């Protein structure tokens, strides 16, 4: 399960695919996972003394975690803004853009700027709240961006911007 997000600091934007994933997770928790755990708790409760029943205690803990995640997802889904079309100016980097950048060593990286709920470093999906995304916003092909990271400052050149679905090339560690 993903950690809770600090509402004051995160974007409410999400891609249609990201909203679908969150909705599917909520549905799975409600229709599949919670009933399974509830059944397991009922079976453990039938075994007798609940105070020393590890299966019962663990099951109740799982139910609390599931219920907490479901409350979070329900609230989060109600406040999200789905961005389902590209911006008017597709030459500039905005939410949902696929961006290819080149570092000073000539390494290429491709990222998609997404909402914090759907960031996935392995897929090249970076949160709009991340330092890289913040540096890239409103830039165009050929622009240089300087990214402040905990390890120092890195410079990149934007080599392409588009809003079509693509796979990431690779990512810096």
- pLDDT at position 39, please? 95
Residue 104 and residue 173 in contact, taking contact as beta carbons nearer than 8 Å: no
CATH number at residue 118: 3.10.50.30
- pLDDT at position 173, please? 47
Neighbours of 165 (CB within 10 A): 8
Phi, psi of 35 (to 5 degrees): -60, -35
Do 46 and 71 belong to one domain?
yes
The answer as to whether 2 is a domain residue is: no
Residue with tokens 């997802």: 73
- pLDDT at position 33, please? 98
Q: Which two tokens stand for residue 60?
A: 């109740």
Do 155 and 104 belong to one domain?
yes
**Measured at the alpha carbon of residue 1, what is the angle toward residues 55 and 163, in degrees to the nearest 5?**
160
- Per-residue pLDDT tens listing for the chain (173 residues): 455 555 556 789 999 999 999 999 999 999 999 999 999 999 988 887 777 888 999 999 999 999 999 999 999 999 999 999 999 999 999 999 999 999 999 999 999 999 999 999 999 999 999 999 999 999 999 999 999 888 889 999 999 999 986 555 555 54
- Per the structure, the complete domain to which residue 23 belongs is given by 13-82
Do 17 and 53 belong to one domain?
yes
- pLDDT at position 171, please? 52
The answer as to whether 1 is a domain residue is: no
What's the rounded Cα separation, in Å, for the pair 92 and 64? 44
Do 60 and 120 belong to one domain?
no
Q: What is the number of structural domains in the chain?
A: 2
- pLDDT at position 1, please? 47
CATH number at residue 48: 1.10.287.180
């Amino acid at each position: 399960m993903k950690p809770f997000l600090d509402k004051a600091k995160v974007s409410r934007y999400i891609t249609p695919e990201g909203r679908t994933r969150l909705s599917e997770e909520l549905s799975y928790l409600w229709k599949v996972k919670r009933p399974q755990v509830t059944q397991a708790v009922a079976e453990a409760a039938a075994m007798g003394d609940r105070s020393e029943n590890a299966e019962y205690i663990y099951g109740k803990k799982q139910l609390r975690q599931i219920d907490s995640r479901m409350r979070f997802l329900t609230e989060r889904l109600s406040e999200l803004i789905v961005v389902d079309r590209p911006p008017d100016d597709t030459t500039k980097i905005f939410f949902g853009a696929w961006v290819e950048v080149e570092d000073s060593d000539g390494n290429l990286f491709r990222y998609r700027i997404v909402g914090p709920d759907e960031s996935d470093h392995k897929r090249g999906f970076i949160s709009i709240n991340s330092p890289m995304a913040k540096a890239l916003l409103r830039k165009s092909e050929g622009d240089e961006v300087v990214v402040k990271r905990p390890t120092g400052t890195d410079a990149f050149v934007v080599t392409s911007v588009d809003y079509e679905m693509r796979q990431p090339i690779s990512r810096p560690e």
